[in-house]
């Protein structure tokens, strides 16, 4: 990339210097020709213009002498007379001026010599050509102590071009030096970013780049660091998830193996009672595998929802009724607050039941005996809200951001009997999001944890 940048700078410099030389050469040539051959050096440029204006008005140079000595007013040509004819050297006598037509026939002579004579070829070569509309109309021959020839013009132009070329060469070299420095400065952060990307690709997820400023390259560096942070967190979650899955699967498998070996060794008799723990652990394994499958489908957006219009109040009551035995056993009061009429909602009833089952199970797990769990249902114009509040100790503040992560436990010492698979809340939120809703958790101001499930009221229900 450094070579490409330097080459780009070189091409830009080359084109720029070339254009400057070309334009300067053309303009210089025009100015030098005006200065040397149009009377600029001798000061007769005003006379040249006056003569050409005279011819443009009269279509002839005859009588130009009277016009030069007594210029009329209101004419386009300049006022030129004996008092304004330049002197050479400055302060000396006025220069000798002769005017001839296109054939070299003398028309006017400031010295009053014979105007019937003709300019010689040598004099014509030294004369200033007069042109109107690019057509030769005559010659002006100022005679002084100096005159220019085409050879003088070529020599001056060559010297001028050499100076321009030298200036362009020096400018080009200076620009290339600056290009080297700028290219190195531009490429250095990109090279650092490239090396960091290679390191990241090799598995060094702690690789970061240091950038300062707010330009595009710095923004790219900040974005790279954010990407590296995301990859590192994802890798940490993956490793943690793998370890948690191995742990969750190892325990039921170990229990099954122990019971089977005890039966094989004759320690336990082959009875339904001794097979029950094996069956229970097998069901737990099946549930963990199914929960992981649901999460995987939700992550990839392939989770199928069989939506239909349902009576949400009837669904909530049905789920509550399934917990009556556990509620009575724990001496916990399960209250359902539903003080208004609610529209039907377009959802997958089995998945909504799964969310509510996980939330109520979680509330029962942390609610002490003789406490209360409150389920409240409310709606507004856009969404339906189901809130579940328990009477437990609440959620540790540091645990709230991680509560819906897979296999996350607020207490590492929590036993399986207390905690289930550790996937329930993760699944509940994924299912809520799949319904274009959400599931949040917080601590209630009066104590206990508060989980809030929101579901949108679709246009189909709104029409009803």
8 A C-beta contact, residue 431 and residue 319: no
The predicted-structure confidence for 371-383, as pLDDT tens digits, reads as follows: 999 999 998 878 8
- Return the pLDDT at 19: 76
pLDDT at 240 over 80: no
Least confident of 34-48, 198-212, 318-332, 336-350: 34-48
* pLDDT class of 238 with cuts at 50, 70, 90: confident
Tokens of 398: 């540091």
- Return the pLDDT at 191: 79
Least confident of 128-137, 163-172, 215-224: 163-172
Query: Collapsing DSSP states into helix, strand and coil, what is residue 439?
Result: strand
The predicted-structure confidence for 102-120, as pLDDT tens digits, reads as follows: 988 888 887 776 667 888 8
- Return the pLDDT at 412: 52
Nearest Cα neighbor of 326 from 365, 358, 352 is 365
- Return the pLDDT at 250: 81
Least confident of 54-63, 64-73, 123-132: 64-73
Strands (E), 201-355: 308-310, 333-337, 345-347
What separation in angstroms does the CA of 240 have from each of 139, 237, 279, 410, 424?
101, 5, 28, 15, 17
- Return the pLDDT at 76: 43
* pLDDT class of 320 with cuts at 50, 70, 90: very high
pLDDT at 356 over 60: yes
CATH topology of domain 231-299: Helix Hairpins (1.10.287)
pLDDT at 45 over 90: no
* pLDDT class of 27 with cuts at 50, 70, 90: low
Say whether domain 42-147 belongs to CATH 3.30.450.20. Answer: yes
Q: When comparing pLDDT for 89 and 444, which is higher? A: 444
Rounded to whole angstroms, the Cα distance separating 118 from 143 reads 16
Domain boundaries, given as residue ranges, for the chain: 42-147, 231-299, 308-463
The share of the chain scoring above pLDDT 90, in percent, equals: 16
Rounded to whole angstroms, the Cα distance separating 342 from 386 reads 12
**Per-chain mean pLDDT for the chain:** 79
Cβ neighbors of 430 (< 8 A, separation 6 or more) are 294, 295, 298, 299, 303
- Return the pLDDT at 423: 80
The yes-or-no answer to whether 42-147 and 231-299 have a common fold is: no
Start-to-end C-alpha separation, the chain: 64
CATH of 308-463, one of 3.40.50.620, 3.40.50.970, 3.40.50.720, 3.30.565.10: 3.30.565.10
- Return the pLDDT at 438: 94
pLDDT at 93 over 80: no
* pLDDT class of 41 with cuts at 50, 70, 90: low
Q: When comparing pLDDT for 382 and 459, which is higher? A: 382
pLDDT at 184 over 50: yes
pTM of the model: 0.51
Radius of gyration of the chain (CA): 50
- Which helix (H) or strand (E) segment holds residue 130: the answer is strand 128-132
pLDDT at 462 over 50: no
The share of the chain scoring above pLDDT 70, in percent, equals: 79
* pLDDT class of 458 with cuts at 50, 70, 90: low
The predicted-structure confidence for 325-337, as pLDDT tens digits, reads as follows: 888 888 899 999 9
Q: When comparing pLDDT for 5 and 119, which is higher? A: 119
The predicted-structure confidence for 396-438, as pLDDT tens digits, reads as follows: 989 888 888 877 766 554 444 454 567 888 889 999 999 999 9
Rounded to whole angstroms, the Cα distance separating 314 from 180 reads 77
């Amino acid at each position: 990339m450094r070579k490409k940048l330097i080459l780009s700078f070189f091409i830009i410099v080359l084109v720029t210097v070339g254009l400057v030389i070309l334009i300067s050469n053309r303009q210089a040539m025009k100015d030098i020709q005006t200065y040397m051959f149009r009377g600029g050096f001798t000061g007769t440029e005003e006379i040249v213009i006056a003569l050409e204006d005279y011819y443009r008005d009269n279509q002839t140079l005859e009588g130009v002498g009277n016009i030069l000595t007594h210029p009329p007013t209101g004419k386009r040509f300049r006022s030129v007379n004996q008092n304004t004819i330049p002197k050479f050297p400055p302060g000396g006598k006025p220069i000798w001026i002769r005017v001839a037509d296109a054939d070299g026939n003398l028309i006017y002579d400031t010295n009053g010599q014979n105007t019937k004579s003709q300019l010689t070829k040598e004099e014509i070569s030294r004369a200033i050509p007069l042109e109107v509309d690019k057509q030769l109309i005559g010659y002006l021959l100022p005679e002084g102590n100096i005159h220019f020839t085409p050879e003088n013009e070529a020599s001056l132009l060559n010297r001028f071009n050499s100076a321009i070329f030298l200036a362009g060469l020096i400018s080009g070299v200076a620009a290339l030096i600056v290009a080297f420095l700028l290219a190195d400065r531009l490429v250095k952060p990109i090279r650092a970013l490239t090396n960091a990307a290679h390191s990241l690709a090799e598995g060094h997820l702690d690789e970061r780049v240091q950038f300062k400023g707010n330009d595009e390259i710095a923004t790219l560096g900040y974005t790279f660091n954010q990407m590296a942070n995301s990859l590192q967190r994802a890798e940490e979650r993956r490793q943690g998830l793998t370890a948690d899955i191995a742990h969750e699967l190892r325990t039921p498998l170990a229990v099954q193996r122990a019971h089977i070996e005890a039966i094989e060794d004759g320690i336990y008799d082959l009875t339904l009672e001794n097979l029950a723990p094996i069956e229970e652990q097998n069901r737990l394994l099946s549930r963990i595998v199914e929960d992981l499958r649901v999460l995987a489908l939700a992550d990839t957006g392939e989770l199928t929802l069989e939506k239909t219009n349902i009576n949400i109040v009837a669904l909530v009551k049905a789920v509550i009724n399934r917990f009556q035995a556990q509620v009575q056993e724990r001496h916990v009061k399960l209250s359902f607050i539903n003080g208004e009429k609610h529209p039907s909602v377009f959802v997958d009833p089995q998945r909504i039941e799964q969310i509510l089952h996980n939330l109520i199970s979680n509330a029962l797990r942390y609610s002490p005996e003789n406490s209360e769990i409150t389920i409240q249902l409310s709606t507004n114009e856009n969404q339906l809200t189901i809130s579940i509040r328990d009477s437990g100790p609440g959620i540790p503040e540091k645990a709230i951001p991680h509560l819906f992560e897979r296999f996350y436990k607020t207490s590492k010492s929590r036993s399986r009997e207390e905690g289930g698979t550790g996937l329930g809340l993760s699944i509940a939120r994924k299912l809520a999001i799949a319904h274009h809703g959400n599931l949040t958790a917080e601590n209630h101001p009066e104590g206990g944890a508060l989980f809030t499930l929101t579901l949108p009221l679709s246009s189909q229900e709104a029409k009803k």
